[in-house]
Structure formats: C-alpha cells, structure tokens
Amino acid sequence: MGTSAADDATRTELPGHSHVPLHGEKQKSKTERDAELQVTLLLRRRQALPDPHAQFGSQLPHEKRHLTASELANEFDTTQDDIACVERFASAHELTVLKAAQHQRKVVLRGKAEAMEKAFGVSLVEMEHCRGSYRATIGTASVPRELNDVVQAVMGLNTRPCARRRTVHHNNTTAPYWTAPQMAEAYGFSATRSAAGQSIALIELGGGYHEGDLRQFFDGLGMPMPVVRCVSVDGAQNAPASVEQIKQFLDVVEGRRKISEVPEDVLSAAQCTVEVTMDIELVAAFAPGAEIVAYMTPSTEQGIYDAISQAIADPERLPSAISISWGEPETGVSGAYLRSVDEVLQEAALLGVTVCASSGDDGAMNGSTDGTPTVNFPASSPHALSCGGSTVRAATGENLREAAWNCMLHGIHGATGGGVSRTFETPPWQQDHNVPLAPTGNRGRGVPDVAGPADPHRGCAILVGGESCSSAGTSAVAPLWAAMVACMNTALGARCGYITPLLYQLAKNGDGPLRAITEGDNGFYKAGQGWNACTGLGSPEVDKLVAALGEGRGGKPPGAS
C-alpha cells in the first residue's frame, strides 16, 4: 500500500510518527482493506502558546491571572484556511470529515484502511502482544507538501497501548493501614476541609465502577454520596468487571489464589475496575463537595489525547485538577504523542488546571529495554505535577516518618518511579535543585516533584466489589494530590493552577510546607535532603501549604479567623 514513487517526491514525513514497537510483539496480519478507521489530525496554531513559567513564575494563587477558555480558543486556535486545506485533502483521498474544531485545532477523519494508507503513505498491519492486539504502521506517516507545517500530528493510525498499570499481588494478606479520615489527619488536611465548587477530572483507561461500591464506601465513612459524572471518549464506556471477577482478582492480591488460576482477561478487567474505583473513592473522600468527572477513554495515543483535551475544553466544568494514574516509559511512546500531550498539558497550566500524574510503580528502570533508567510520561512533562510514592514507616501522633517506596510484592518488585527525562530539558524552576545528569548523559527534567503513600502494606482502605482492600501504587498518589489541590483552591478562593514552580520556590527555604523524605531508594537513585529522584520535594503538609499559599493575604487563607 502506501503512496507511489511519484507521490513520495511531493510528500513530507511527519516527525515522531514511526511505530514504537512493544518488546515481544508479533505481526499477525495486514489490516483489512475495508476496515473503518478514525484518525485525529492536530493542526498548527496561529500563534505559539505562552510559557506558563514565564507567565506565572512563582506567583501565589491569588496573584495569577489565568487565561479563560475563550481566550485560549480565540487567540491560539488554528485558521479556517488550514482547516479548508485539510478538508480538500480528505476529499481527494476518499476520507470523511467527522469533525472540524477550529478552537481545538482538530480535524477528525474517517475512512477505509486502504484510503488511510494512501492518504498518509504507510502500510497498516495487525500486531499481537501479551498486552493485547493493536494496529501499527509500517513506514513513517507523511502528508502532501501543501499540508507541510499545517498538520502537526496524526493520531489513530497506530493503536498500540501507551499506558500501563502494574498488577499488584502479594503472598500475604495486607489489611488497609488506615482509613481516609486517618490518612487525611496524618497529612494535615483540615477536619472541616471542603472542595465545594471544584471539579476534578479523572482520566480512566478501561474498566469502570459500580455505584453500589461507592454508596457502601461513603456510607461507611458517614459522608454523602459524591456527584460522579461519567463521560465517554472515543466510544469507551463505564464498563466495570463483575463482582465475581473482582473477587477472583482480590483473591490473587491477598494470596488466596495463584495468579495462574485466573484468566488474564479477568485479571486485567478487574484491575482496571479496582483502579477506577480507587481514583473516585480517594478523590471524593479527601475532597468532599467536589464534582468528580471520570473520562472513560481507550488506552491509545488518540484516546488519551482526546480525553485530556476534552476535559479542559468544557468551559462550564473546567476542572480544578486532573488526576492521571498511569503512564508509559518515555521510550515507549512516539515523539508526536509526547509533543501533543505535553502541549495540551501546557494549555491546562495556562487555564489554571493542576495536572497530577503518577510517576510509575516500576522503580527507576521502569521496564527499560536498553538497560538504563527511564521515566514515565506524562509525569515527565514539565507542565505536570509528577507524583512519586512513599512507604509510611511510622505514624504516631504528629510523627509521620516515610521512606521511598520500594518493596517486594509476591516476588514482584514494586517501587516509586523517578529519574531524569530523556525528552524534556531541566525546567528553570529545577535548575537550583541538584537534578543529576541522566544515565544517557543529558540534562533533563527531574521526576517526581512530590510524593505520597504508595506502599499497599501501608495503604488507605477502599472498597471494590463489596470488599475492603488497600490502595496501592503511585496510582493512589495522583488522586490524593488532585484532591488536595481542590481543597486548597476552595480555602484560598483562587486556583493554584500551575503550582509546580511555586513548590520549588517554597522548598528553597529549607523549612517549606513539604515533608522531606530522606530514606530509601528506587533501585538506582537514593532519597535524601532537598529534591531527589525518588520522592521529589517530599510529601504534603496540607495545613502548612494553605498557609504558605495564602501568604499574600496576611498569611491566612480567605475566611480564616
């Protein structure tokens, strides 16, 4: 398939659009010529986005003047001429325009696989892997010269999974260490905390939740049922595993059943459901009064981009924070995907949305296939608040002692992700915090920024499939920080938004509002004073954070006596 030699001479390859293989994948067949495909084209902006750091620097929340959704849409959109150019291209290649959104710089096309191959100069094949079946391209996607610079990215030709979660299972029972109210007290959340008026977006990749679990969980806490809205993206729905499937998974987690006794598809469906339910229960328990919006989307580059961009495109429900409890090594995703998602996170920062992303559960190596450490994306984006994991060593009275999370789970190693990006340069706000060179020799963005409890042996009680179990992984840390940001926004009467540079500024004093974690390692890097590549600047002390962020208003949050 693809284009002819004559066509090739007048086409431009799109950078970062080659298939990134999964280790162990096998080509199964060619994609059926009549198979219906849907792709998303991202177009250039009429002008470049501002740098959020230059825009806000270390401003306190009440000093920030975030862009409005209409300002972002009207000043940094694409042009109608560029959309018309893409529409002509689609017509010439027998592709249908499903959506042309000038404000989102997005054109969605549908057509048969054969037409897509000719339009973008690739061959399409079907791959199989232990993580599932998917479509891949042979060759680098290209466009005709008239679309050179107009089309920035094409997503949907490849459907390789680009986010993974670790299956956590143990050989010993791990009863939850504490309840949500106990954990909230330990981390300095006010007993009268509220996130009223805030909205928190959760990006969810498969699985779902049972409303009955949520009712039972919040009844047990004596809290009202939260408002949870489910949004379907690219056809994905709230599709929880059955109670019986969840029970089989929890039997494996608690060592009551061997992993070989449960089908892989059952484990996968149940784990996704546990993860989605955990996100909702933790966010709502720590941020009472917030509206929770779960964006259900496929685990593909196209699906993930569409979910995040849709979450920040709703002017009526612009979230205070976005929680992203998954990731993929930077080396495991395409350059086009890295650039596109980082740019939409940049938009979120300018709008005043705090994006909290999990740093990963596989330690510094993070499943690396080249023998050197690699960090998780999107946690490595400089526009995200990267969330690492800790193990609580002691929690008595006001004493909370933590170490970098690093333990064995039923013979499988689990540890906080962290290290140095191979893709993103060291941002200005990290340059005075001793970020080491990456093992590849480059200077890069240090991961993570902050930490929170990730060890399932010291986890928070959640309820799934009618059974109580423990929160686990950095997947539990991202929603904790998202909830905290929502509560701080309500207390301060202002959006924290792009808070990452400010946290580094506050940490310079040595007695900032984050609790340093100086013990432990993640298999390559060691925890220590100051920023480190295991737990970042440390774990939260929410009451101190609120006081520090309200400094410009007399050292007290609005409404404080």
Alpha carbons 25 and 38: distance in angstroms, whole number: 23
Q: Which DSSP helix (H) or strand (E) runs through 83?
A: helix 80-92
* Phi (first) and psi of residue 210, to 5 degrees: -100, 125
- Asked whether 43 and 151 are in contact (CB, 8 A), the reply is yes
In eight-state DSSP terms, residue 458 is G
**CA 473/CA 325 separation, integer angstroms:** 9
Q: Which residues are catalytic?
A: 275, 279, 475
The structure tokens listed for 451 are 């930490």
Report the C-alpha gap between 105 and 80 in whole angstroms.
Answer: 10
Cβ atoms of residues 353 and 312 within 8 Å:
yes
Pairing of strands 446-447, 96-101: unpaired
pLDDT at 551: 76
Q: Which CATH superfamily is domain 180-553 in?
A: Peptidase S8/S53 domain (3.40.50.200)
Q: Can you tell me which residue has the tokens 């984050």?
A: 514
Residue 170 is predicted with a pLDDT of 46
pLDDT in tens, the chain (561 residues): 455 444 556 899 999 999 999 888 999 999 999 999 999 999 999 999 999 999 998 899 999 999 998 899 999 999 999 999 999 999 999 999 999 999 999 999 999 999 999 999 999 999 999 888 999 999 999 999 999 999 999 999 999 998 865 554 444 456 778 999 999 999 999 989 999 999 999 999 999 999 999 999 999 999 999 999 999 999 999 999 999 999 998 888 777 888 889 998 898 899 999 999 999 999 999 999 999 999 999 999 999 999 999 999 977 789 999 999 999 999 999 999 999 999 999 999 999 999 999 999 999 999 887 889 999 999 999 999 999 999 998 776 567 899 999 986 555 578 999 999 999 999 999 999 999 998 889 899 999 999 999 998 889 999 999 999 889 899 999 999 999 999 999 999 999 999 999 999 999 877 789 999 999 999 999 999 999 999 999 999 999 999 999 975 544 443 333
pLDDT at 342: 98
Q: Where are the alpha helices (DSSP H) in 493-560?
A: 500-507, 542-549
Domain(s) of CATH 3.40.50.200: residues in the chain: 180-553
Contact yes or no for 349/497 (Cβ under 8 A): yes
The predicted structure's pLDDT at residue 398 = 66
Count of CB atoms situated within 10 Å of the CB of 155 = 27
Residue with tokens 């909702």: 280
CB burial of residue 447 (10 Å; 0-12, 13-18, 19+): buried
pLDDT of 251: 86
